[in-house]
Amino acid sequence: MIKALLGPNGAGKSTYLRRLMGLESGAINLEMAMVFQEPLLFDLTVFGNISLGLKARHIKDVREKVANWIAIFGISHLKDRRAITLSSGEAQKVSLARAMAFEPKILLLDEPFANLDFRSQITIKNKIREIIKENNIDTIWVTHNKSEALEVADYIMIMIDGKIVQEGEPKEVVKNPSTKEVALFLDVYNGD
């Protein structure tokens, strides 16, 4: 299931994800993978970045798994390039491939397409959604973009000022905002 955590910039969405991941407490959940808005890559090749977590977990067939994910994300031509030479969009594709190669049970996506051009956003967004559905990965997808949330999510949580103030199925949340602030954020406020 894909849950979108939707809210304005500065609402606390990224902090919420970091807490879920355990990054603020030091108790990191190894069944989770997180893709940050700004790619966090090691000074390794693309192949090295994607394979690092697999090797650390002694996963078999690392080469085949990495080759599969770099093909899915259209970055095969980059496999021998060092991370520091990548554009921000290329680096984000590597981050996404690394997270998916790990085959997480829970996936946390923090504005994962902010650094991609529009065409790549559409292609990768559809591919990620398909992979999540096929592999039944529980996902929290953080965004401030209402249309993106409505497009990808099975369930929406609205966060304002650090609190989840409404949640439910996308159509229901848009149809019946719980507060004036939610209605204003969703741009469905009619002035009543």
List the chain domain ranges.
2-186
The pLDDT tens digits of the residues spanning 116-147 come to 788 888 888 888 888 899 989 999 999 988 98
Q: Encode 130-149: b = buried (16+ Cβ within 10 Å), e = exposed.
A: ebbeeeebebbbbbbebebb
User: What is the per-residue pLDDT for 138?
Assistant: 94
**CATH T-level topology, domain 2-186:** Rossmann fold (3.40.50)
What's the 3-state SS for 112-143? Answer: CCCCCCHHHHHHHHHHHHHHHHHHCCEEEEEE
The pLDDT tens digits of the residues spanning 11-42 come to 999 888 888 887 766 666 667 888 988 888 99
Helix (H) or strand (E) holding 180: helix 180-186
User: What is the per-residue pLDDT for 28?
Assistant: 63
Question: Residue 32: helix, strand or coil by DSSP?
Answer: strand
User: What is the per-residue pLDDT for 97?
Assistant: 93
Does this model's pTM top 0.85? My answer is yes
Residue range 102-117: average pLDDT?
A: 86
pLDDT at 50 > cutoff 70: yes
Q: Are 157 and 167 in contact (CB under 8 A)?
A: yes
End-to-end C-alpha distance for the chain, whole angstroms: 34
Q: Are 41 and 95 in contact (CB under 8 A)?
A: yes
